[in-house]
Amino acid sequence: MSGASNAFVKFSDIQKTYDGEALVVKNLNLDIARGEFLTMLGPSGSGKTTTLMMLAGFEVPTQGSILLEGRSIDKMPPHKRDIGMVFQNYALFPHMTVEENLAFPLKVRKLDKAEIKVKIKCALDMVRLGAHGARRPAQLSGGQQQRVALARALVFDPKLVLMDEPLGALDKQLREQMQLEIRHIHENLGVTVVYVTHDQSEALTMSDRIAVFNDGVIQQIAAPAELYERPQNAFVAQFVGENNRLHGKVVAMNGATCKVEIPGAGNVEALAINVEAIGRPTVLSLRPERVKLNPMPGSLPNVFSVRVAEVIYLGDHVRARVSVCGHDDFVIKLPNSEGVVNVEPGTEITIGWRAEDCRALDAS
């Protein structure tokens, strides 16, 4: 997770505790490249927001050091770090107009009036609010307020922009729209962004890399496709995307693959990713869209006859819940690319999957 000596942001051996006993962040080492969009993803209490607040200067590490452009910022107050911030609650000044909100960080930096005017116009045009400069926050929609907050964070050309659950207060459609807008702004400006969310689909949509936090530790850090397709432990597999879990015991190893005995269902062939040894428990991870319906005989190593418990039509695919290997909540996603898939609740169907699509991970 660390190693690049020219990292734009560098966390070195960071620990954080509030009570002197429980560590909220544990031995964090993380490098962030200049211009990168890095998302810190994890459940509540996983340490991601605390990490962001330490970078912003609102929290102080109990141990370790944070470097920005190779210089320690541990003792630097927040207002001197040249960092833009965007919060979930927008944090706009309600008594100021949109233009006055954007002018505030520029006046603090003692820019002259002409330059302030130019920067405000550029920032408002960037977020498509050029006609709203005279309005106050209460006269704007939630999405417009979030655009103003984003413009205010960028108007003074910061080295780094931090975003803490910025879209959490928006409805689903607007949130998805804003995800793309933030992504496009990042691509156009090339500014470094560190983004915090608990929404895995948001992280997959926006990020260059995602750091998955749990219990104060980064479980895995990778590009979105790598994280989704090749999770390195059971927590990441379960937290990022929909996932089927099958509990079993390793009964054989053969190079990169292993055979796992599922109680009452026989053996499953899988990739041996994070397993201990023969005889030890493991959890198999399998994405619902990797399951094939009615595979050709002999085409797949893992084939099961299952009973359909529930079918939900979702337009581009059918989501079926089936009973397999003693699990009643096993999910398969069947694309409707050649017409609606004909599966009915209560019927028996045959499903299968490749060994390389099934990952044997830690039992914990």
The pLDDT tens digits of the residues spanning 257-274 come to 999 999 877 899 999 999
Average pLDDT of the segment spanning 309-324: 92
Element (H, E) at 246: strand 244-254
CA distance 361 to 328: 21
Residue 155 and residue 296 share a domain? no
Residue with more model confidence, 147 or 225: 225
What per-residue confidence (pLDDT) applies to 5?
55
Task: Determine what percent of the chain is predicted with pLDDT higher than 90.
Answer: 77
Domain range for 57 is 9-234
CA distance 111 to 87: 25
Q: What DSSP letter does each residue of 145-169 carry, written as one string?
A: HHHHHHHHHHTT--SEEEEESTTTT
Its sign, for the CA torsion 278, 279, 285, 288, is positive
Residue for token pair 């609010």: 129
- Measuring CA to CA, which residue among 58, 9, 45 is closest to residue 29? 9
Write down which residue in 234, 254, 279 finishes a domain: 234
CATH of the domain at 321: 2.40.50.100
- In a domain, residue 121? The reply is yes
Number of domains in the chain: 2
* CA proximity to 108, closest of 121, 125, 93: 93
Share of the chain above pLDDT 70, in %: 99
Decide which of 212, 234, 256 is a domain's last residue: 234
- Reply yes or no on whether the pLDDT at 325 is more than 80: no
Q: Are residues 248 and 211 in the same domain?
A: no
Please indicate, yes or no, if residue 1 is contained in any of the structural domains. Answer: no
End-to-end CA distance of the chain: 22
Domain boundary among 185, 203, 234: 234
d(CA 209, CA 9): 14
Rg from Cα positions in the chain: 24
Half-sphere exposure for 30 (CA within 13 Å, toward CB): 31
Both 117 and 141 in a single domain? yes
Query: Of residues 175 and 58, which shows the higher confidence score?
Result: 58
Each residue's pLDDT tens digit, 338-357: 777 888 999 999 999 999 99
Q: How far apart are CA 283 and CA 215, in angstroms?
A: 20
Residue-wise pLDDT for 277-296, tens only, equals 999 999 999 999 999 999 99
Do 53 and 186 lie in one domain? The reply is: yes
Task: Give me the CATH number covering residue 169.
Answer: 3.40.50.300
> What average pLDDT is seen over the chain?
92
pLDDT at 355: 96
Cβ–Cβ < 8 Å for 151, 127: yes
Q: Provide the token pair at 60.
A: 């102080």
Domain membership of residue 114 (yes or no) is: yes
**Does some domain include residue 212?**
yes
Q: Are residues 40 and 77 in the same domain?
A: yes
Residues 180, 254, single domain; the answer is: no
143 lies in some domain: yes
Instruction: Enter the DSSP assignment of 41.
Output: E
Residues 301 and 163 in one domain: no
Query: What pLDDT shows up at residue 3?
Result: 43
Residue among 198, 178, 195, 189 nearest 37 (CA): 195
Domain check: are 213 and 308 in the same one?
A: no
pLDDT at 292: 94
Q: Are residues 303 and 280 in the same domain?
A: yes
Q: How much is the pTM? A: 0.90
- Going by DSSP bridges, is the β-strand pair 192-197/160-164 parallel, antiparallel, or unpaired? parallel
Q: Which regions of 74-147 does DSSP assign to beta strands (E)?
A: 83-87
Work out the average pLDDT over 190-201: 94
Mean pLDDT in residue range 116-138: 92
Same domain, 116 and 214: yes
Q: Yes or no: say if 283 and 244 are a contact pair by the CB < 8 Å rule.
A: no
Query: What is the mean predicted confidence (pLDDT) over 131-152?
Result: 91
